[in-house]
Structure formats: structure tokens, C-alpha cells
Amino acid sequence: MGKKNTGMVIYQAKNGAIEFRGDMSRETLWATQAQIADVFGVERSVVTKHIRNILKDGEIDEKSNVQKMHIAHSDKPVAAYSLDIILSIGYRTNSKIAIEFRKWATKTLREHITKGYTVNRRQIAKNYDAFMKSVSDIQSLLPEQVLLDPKAILELIKEFSSTWISLDAYDKETLTTVGSTKKAVKLTGVELTEAILSLRSELLKRGEATEIFAHERAVGSIEGIVGNVMQSFGGKAMYETIEEKAAHLLYFMVKNHPFTDGNKRSGAFSFV
């Protein structure tokens, strides 16, 4: 909501979820004691007591979760409380509405722990509508002969979604090995360099690459990458499976940029 009143309305949905309407420029939302009391259907004095105990126990940091805001029809600033405090009050409050909230919150938390994610179907519906409008807006700027099919674009996104999820899991070091092949494989920097040069020659013939394609920035870059992928420690390969070797080969080729041009294509070729 920021420093000024932006007309945000906080309320509780039928399924117990806390939702909001209005501006949300930060990754939280703010509500006054009166708004929180209204959300959970209790007296304001109950909310005041819970907030005092929450801050006293050190459960939530007061400095970053309480701030003064100017609201309509008020001459002086009013204390507003962050989403963290609102949720904590929901778990402490004894009311019919708060019970529904806790059911929803526990279900959501359980889903996140067991599945690793949660789905806000209402937000997805909003995003879908916004996506369709964006495609329509882009279409209006394109020549008449260029047609965009929103459903086809969504299908493309869906096809790549598992890849994006896997890459995110890899970055967070939570990617699990499934259906891997521990077949032994050998590869040297010389072999890979020769294969990429052969690819370069073919692409040049087709006019699909320029003379600077696949020129090493520094001699030995490819050998260094292959050495990293094929390395072992204590007689055990650092990357045991073909899949792991291929994935890291692609990753290092794109990340290290050993060539002046064509790193992505060379990386994809090496991966395959």
C-alpha cells in the first residue's frame, strides 16, 4: 500500500484464504488493526492483544513489519501491519472465520511441503486473461500477414515448463536424478573440437554461420571444459551418468563462452 492510501481492501474468501484488492507494489500487504479485526471477525481489542504478544515474544521483527501510514479521513498516521503479522494473528485468534483461515493455511502449507509448490487458480485465471490481452496488443503492432495464435504460444510454454522447473531445481541444487544411465562414456577435448569444427564447416556451406563461428577465444578452452566434465576423484567420476555429463557440458559451454560466436549452438550440439 506504500506511504499513502491506495484503496486496498483486504478480506477473507469463502475457502478461508486471505486475499486483497488494490495496489501491491511490494511483496507484502499492509492492514490496520481495524482491517485485521474485520478480516477475522473479532473485536479490535483482541487484535491489539495478539499484536502486543507477537512483538513481545520476538516472533516477528517489529521494525520491518510495522509502519505508520496516512489513510483517508484521518488527521494523523495510523499503524499498519505486514502480511506476516496478519497471518500470525490468524493462527492465534479464536473465531469461526479464523478457524476457516487455519484450515486453508494448513492445507496450503501441506501442499507446498509435499508437492514443492502451491497453485493459486484464481491468479492463474487472471494471468491467462492478461496473457491473451498481451498477445492481442502485440498482434495489433505486427503486419497483417503475421498471425499469432495465443493457444499455440501457451502450448509452447507448457512444453518448456518442465525444462524451466528443472533448471530452477538445478540452480537450487535440488534436482533429483531420475531414469539415468550409468553407461561409461569417454570424450576428449580434441574429439569435441574436431566435431564442432566439422559442424562449423557444414553450417558455413549452408550459409547458416559466419567466419567467426566456433573460433576459440583462448587455446585450450574446450579441453578445459571437457576436462571438468570428465574429471574424477578417488577413482569415482564427479558426474557419473551420461545425462549429468551432457547437461554439464551444455552448461559450461554456454556459461564459459569459449567461442567468439556460436556458444549456444555449439553447446547444444555437444549436448546431443
- Three-state SS for 32-88 is CHHHHHHHHCCCHHHHHHHHHHHHHCCCCCHHHHEEEECCCCCCCCEEEECHHHHHH
Mean pLDDT of 177-191: 75
Residue with grid cell 484503496, as numbered in its chain = 7
Q: Are 271 and 246 in contact (CB under 8 A)?
A: yes
Mean pLDDT of 45-68: 92
Q: How many CB atoms lie within 10 A of CB 118?
A: 12
Instruction: Share the mean pLDDT of the chain.
Output: 79
What is the Cα–Cα distance from 83 to 132, expressed in whole angstroms?
31
- pLDDT tens for each residue of 14-41: 666 666 544 455 556 788 898 889 888 8
Supply the pLDDT for residue 168: 76
Q: Are 85 and 32 in contact (CB under 8 A)?
A: no
Q: Quick one: pLDDT band at residue 140, thresholds 50, 70, 90?
A: confident
What is the Cα–Cα distance from 192 to 224, expressed in whole angstroms?
11
Q: Are 213 and 204 in contact (CB under 8 A)?
A: yes
Higher per-residue confidence, 114 vs 151 = 114
Closest C-alpha to 123, from 20, 16, 8, 9: 20
Q: Quick one: pLDDT band at residue 122, thresholds 50, 70, 90?
A: low
Q: Is the pLDDT of residue 54 over 90?
A: yes
Q: Is the pLDDT of residue 51 over 90?
A: yes
Residue with grid cell 474468501, as numbered in its chain = 13
Q: Is the pLDDT of residue 186 over 90?
A: no
- pTM as predicted: 0.43
- Phi, psi dihedral angles at 247 (to 5 degrees): -65, -40
What is the Cα–Cα distance from 244 to 185, expressed in whole angstroms?
12
Domain map (residue ranges) of the chain = 9-115, 189-271
Q: Is the pLDDT of residue 1 over 60?
A: no
Nine-digit cell at 53? Answer: 504478544
Q: Are 28 and 85 in contact (CB under 8 A)?
A: no
Q: Is the pLDDT of residue 179 over 50?
A: yes
Q: Is the pLDDT of residue 196 over 80?
A: yes
Mean pLDDT of 187-211: 88
Supply the pLDDT for residue 146: 64
Q: Is the pLDDT of residue 3 over 50?
A: no
Between the ranges 47-51, 59-63, 193-197, 255-259, where is the mean pLDDT highest?
47-51
**Bridge partners, residue 19, by sequence:** 11
Q: Residue 38 to residues 52, 60, 136: CA-CA distances in angstroms?
A: 18, 22, 40
- pLDDT tens for each residue of 204-235: 898 888 888 888 888 888 999 999 889 888 88
